[in-house]
Amino acid sequence: MHLKAFAKKSTRSTTLAAAITLVAGSLLTSAANLWAATPITVKFAHVVAENTPKGKAALRFQELMHERLGDKVKVEVYPNSQLFGDDKVLEAMLLGDVQIAAPSLSKFQKYTKQLQIFDLPFLFKDMAAVDRFQQGPVGQKLLTSLERKGLMGLGYIHNGMKHLSAYDPIRVPADAAGKKFRIQTSDVLAAQFEAVDAVPLKKPFSEVFTLLQTRAIDGTENPWTNIYSKKFFEVQPYITETNHGLLDYMVVTSARFWKKLPDEVRTEMKKAMDEAIAYGNQVAREQEEKDRQLIIDSGVTQVISIGEQERALWVEAMRPVWKEFEKEIGADVIQAALDANQP
Ligand code: LMR
């Protein structure tokens, strides 16, 4: 090309490039301004009381987000099933009606079978073992097990080990036979109660107190903080300290919502959530014992401890449930959980 013509063409393309840069730049700026002007609303819905590990973690998350991002992001926390119960919350999340939830790990079976691992009775030795498993490679991989369904796991919050409560004293499996127990929406939990000839009934958490009060059910399984904060102990004369299973949570969000967030908001949100989860887990460690003691001190319910021999009867009756669900969960996942029992 002639030198003059080349110079003219290259000036034209430089001007064009500059114009494109200008337009793109101003589009970005206006997107950023729009973001700055329109706060992002994040609804965090859960079903427990505010004075529980999950309730406190949710409030800490709200506080941290406000501290760090001011009015740019508005976190609204809805406790006590005020916005959605766990039966609806994940569908609502996929529709964009709620952005964060932390259902118990027993509530995901419609979305993935692998999380059923957490419901297997007498699997984890204690909460330290649960922690090792959740933080290890298999537990971390399980956080991604909902991705095909459009959900993302952001972390685990502890509550604690479950105990049986009832209208009659329960010491051995035969004492539970024929009794109706409210359970969460989990087939593993149903199988666990059927293994001792009890009758499991899947019911929402928000209905448990009334079901107990009206004696529509005989008992439940719950960790101390739920029994205390929802006053179940006031309508259950006996609690058997079985430590037979786990009630923990997965904090989830919709992948669509998460990916659409501005990068800096997503980064801050993840950081705030990690800190809120760590705080919730510390609360879980401390509050379990406190709430247990408050229940004992109330004098309205009797806490029954079981000895090694009685415990062995429960283990023997419930352990076959593992085999029943091994294929859905994966033998390798079960093995990883068992390995976590060894520090
Ligand atoms: C239940 O339904 O019993 C639990 O999932 C409630 C909770 O969130 O602890």
* CA 161 to ligand 1 center in whole angstroms: 12
- Predicted local distance difference test score (pLDDT) of residue 9: 47
Pocket-testing residue among 247, 251, 288, ligand 1, by greatest number of atoms within 8 A of Cβ: 247
- Expressed in angstroms and rounded, the spacing between residue 163 Cα and the centre of ligand 1 is 13
Q: How far apart are CA 147 and CA 145, in angstroms?
A: 6
Cβ atoms 82, 90 nearer than 8 A: no
Q: Which of 226, 250, 291 to mutate to test the pocket of ligand 1 (most atoms within 8 A of CB)?
A: 226
223 Cα to the center of ligand 1, angstroms: 9
pTM: 0.89
Segments of the chain scoring below 50 in pLDDT: 1-11, 13-34
Around Cβ 8, how many Cβ atoms within 10 Å?
10
Residue 38 is predicted with a pLDDT of 80
Q: What pLDDT score does 27 carry?
A: 46
- Cα–Cα distance for residue pair 98/42, rounded to 1 Å: 7
Beta bridge partners of 77: 44
Ligand 1 atom at shortest distance from the alpha carbon of 47: 8
Ligand 1 near 104 CB (within 6 A):
yes
**pLDDT given at position 2:** 43
The protein residue whose alpha carbon is closest to atom 2 in ligand 1 is: 205
Answer yes or no: is the C-beta of 184 below 6 A from any ligand 1 atom: yes
Q: Which atom of ligand 1 is nearest the CA belonging to 208?
A: 3
Q: Is 48 in the pocket of ligand 1 (CB under 6 A)?
A: yes
- CB of residue 159 inside a 6 A radius of ligand 1: yes
Whole-angstrom Cα distance, residue 117 to residue 128?
16
pLDDT score for 258: 97
Rounded distance from Cα 256 to ligand 1 centre (Å): 26
Residue 317, classed as helix, strand or coil, is helix
Atom index in ligand 1 nearest the CA of residue 222 equals 3
- Atom index in ligand 1 nearest the CA of residue 223 equals 9
Atom of ligand 1 nearest to the CA of 205: 2
pLDDT at 37: 60
Would the CB of 217 count as within 6 Å of ligand 1?
Answer: no
For ligand 1, whether the C-beta of 115 sits within 6 Å is no
Atom of ligand 1 nearest to the CA of 184: 2
**Cα 222 to ligand 1 centre (Å):** 8
Atom 5 of ligand 1, residue of closest alpha carbon: 104
Tell me the sheet residues that pair with 166: 219, 238
Domains along the chain?
34-339 (3.40.190.170)
Asked if residue 162 lies in contact with residue 223, where contact means CB atoms within 8 angstroms, the answer is yes
- Residues 195 and 198: their CA atoms lie apart, in Å, by 7
pLDDT for res 254: 98
Place of tokens 């004075």: 51
